[in-house]
């Protein structure tokens, strides 16, 4: 983050709790503008078809070569469902329909919130975009766990595989440290 005020250009920014605020932040000592570094939302989807789970392999940094669920940062002016659908399309070429929320996963250390849905394939006509090196459908026993880096994605996949054996899917809310799986009544 640049260490100058984006409003008036004053440098450097001060660090502290601005007047009337509750959190320590960067702010401008000249004009009073505050830099709000709020969490970013990552939207994505878990898609199963014919007993296999869709994963994509990253083709750009960070973590080139690692496998993950199709997911990425929300853009301005879109809903989280739209973001999940767009990320699936960009990273796999699949037009998907979002069906059910599956995981609302907070990652406080990296200032991120994952919102992962279950989704189903509507059409698959396009090739993945340049962010993706490969797309593959994995049977649970074939998932390349050693190449799945993000702990949130790993937890989501592990729970999904455990739940699919029982045929009942919950909705997780929480973080790596603690959380709750909510089941529909």
Bin 39: left if φ > 0, else alpha if -120 < ψ < 50, else beta.
beta
Q: Give 16 or 151: the residue with its C-beta nearer to Zn ion.
A: 16
Stretch that binds Zn ion, among 3-11, 59-67, 97-105, 123-131 (CB under 5 A): 3-11
| Residue 64 within binding range of Zn ion, rule CB under 5 A | no
Query: Of these, 10, 52, 86, 120, which contacts Zn ion (CB under 5 A)?
Result: 10
Stretch that binds Zn ion, among 8-16, 40-48, 81-89, 149-157 (CB under 5 A): 8-16
Q: Can you tell me the distance from the alpha carbon of 111 to that of 7, in angstroms, rounded to the nearest whole number? A: 24
Show Cβ contacts of residue 70 under 8 Å, excluding neighbours closer than 6 positions: 44, 45, 47, 54, 56, 87, 88, 90, 91, 92, 94
The DSSP bridge partners found for residue 62 are none
Query: Of these, 33, 35, 161, 171, which contacts Zn ion (CB under 5 A)?
Result: 33
| Residue 69 within binding range of Zn ion, rule CB under 5 A | no
Is residue 68 within 8 Å of residue 153, measured between CB atoms?
Answer: yes
Bin 134: left if φ > 0, else alpha if -120 < ψ < 50, else beta.
beta
Q: Measured from the CB of residue 9, what is the shortest distance to Zn ion in angstroms?
A: 7
| Residue 14 within binding range of Zn ion, rule CB under 5 A | no
# binding residues, Zn ion (CB under 5 A)? 8
| Residue 8 within binding range of Zn ion, rule CB under 5 A | yes
Q: Give 10 or 154: the residue with its C-beta nearer to Zn ion.
A: 10
Residue 88, classed as helix, strand or coil, is helix
Contacts with Zn ion, residue ranges (CB under 5 A): 5, 7-8, 10, 28, 30-31, 33
């Amino acid at each position: 983050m640049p260490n100058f005020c984006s409003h008036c250009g004053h440098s450097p920014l001060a660090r502290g709790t601005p007047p009337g605020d509750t959190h320590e932040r960067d702010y401008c000592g000249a004009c009073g503008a505050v830099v709000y570094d709020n969490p970013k939302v990552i939207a994505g989807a878990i898609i199963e078809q014919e007993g296999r789970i869709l994963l994509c392999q990253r083709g750009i940094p960070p973590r080139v070569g690692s496998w993950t669920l199709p997911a990425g940062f929300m853009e301005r002016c879109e809903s989280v469902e739209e973001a999940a659908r767009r990320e699936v399309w960009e990273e796999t070429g699949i037009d998907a329909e979002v069906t059910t929320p599956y995981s609302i996963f907070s990652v406080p250390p990296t200032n991120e919130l994952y919102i992962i849905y279950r989704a189903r394939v509507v059409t698959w006509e396009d090739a993945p975009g340049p962010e993706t090196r490969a797309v593959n459908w994995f049977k649970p026993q074939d998932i390349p766990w050693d190449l799945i880096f993000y702990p949130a994605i790993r937890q989501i996949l592990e729970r999904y595989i455990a739940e699919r054996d029982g045929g009942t899917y919950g909705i997780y809310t929480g973080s790596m440290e603690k959380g709750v799986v909510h089941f529909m009544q």
